[in-house]
Amino acid sequence: MPIQAHTPVYAVIGDPVAHSLSPIMHNRALAACALPGVYVGFRVTDLPAAIAGIRALGIRGVSVTLPHKVAVMALLDDIGDTARAIGAVNTIVNDAGQLKGINTDGIGALKALETATHVTGRRVAILGAGGAARAVAWALSRAGAKVALFNRTADKAETLAWQLNLQWGRMKDLSAWRAEILVNTTPVGMAPGIGALPVPEAVLDPAMVVMDIVYNPMETALLAAARRRGCTTVDGVQMLVFQGAAQFERWTGVAAPVTAMRLAVIEALSPQF
């Protein structure tokens, strides 16, 4: 649709942000739904000024990426319960100048996993103890999964597990957890380090469902190893799309065109391989 003076503007803010696939995904969603709007990326180093700009310019909705997901919380008018529990905001909804922070990362991870399996009552091992691990662990535990955190720095896993009332373990003890679902929330395996594995291949049981939130490459070394072992796999594009779909629906009130959004991301990634 033509961009006019009254066209709604959406954006992603972060540093860096040039690599983000959110503009491709959300602009495809707007077009698929025949909605007016344009989604752009802004590299932000001065976060308070950027938030003031969102208010002043009436930017309708904003995705928040690293390194601003925590710092942005103090600058908003309201924080949703999920975002407060997770301790991070990845989405800003502008309601007539009132900025509300929400978090769709957790629900994105849950919906991604649910394309392959149910999580209620399942034993889940989450690799990592950063912001992504917090969001995924919170969502899966709320959905009834039995979650344990594993991290190379055991103290971080222990701290996060204590905060979320979950179990934790050292990486060397991962097999003892007998996970039915394994989720990698670390950057291990992300381009350009695409050959790295976050865990030894021998840890992967054929009965496992293995998800990697890394989406570039779509098939990480972990997912390739899991496929060789006979595991069911879920790629990072699924989580990216489902968290984006939740953002889109909050901003527009329209059901997200998930298939079109996923196709847009796959098309953007495909020329690299």
Phi, psi values for residue 28, rounded to 5°: -65, -40
Query: Which amino acid is located at 122 in the chain?
Result: R
Length of the chain: 273
| List 69, 100, 156, 172, catalytic entry | 69
- Cα 142 from chain centroid (whole Å): 17
Work out the number of other CB atoms within 10 angstroms of the CB of residue 9.
Answer: 17
CB-CB neighbours of 169 under 10 Å: 19
Measured in degrees and rounded to the nearest 5, phi and psi for residue 140 equal -70, -40
Catalytic residue flag (residue 69)? yes
Q: What is the DSSP letter of 271?
A: G
DSSP-derived pairing of the beta strands 123-127 and 181-184: parallel
Give the span between the Cα atoms of 51 and 69, in whole angstroms. 13
Q: Token pair of 230, please?
A: 């006979």
| Catalytic residue ranges | 69
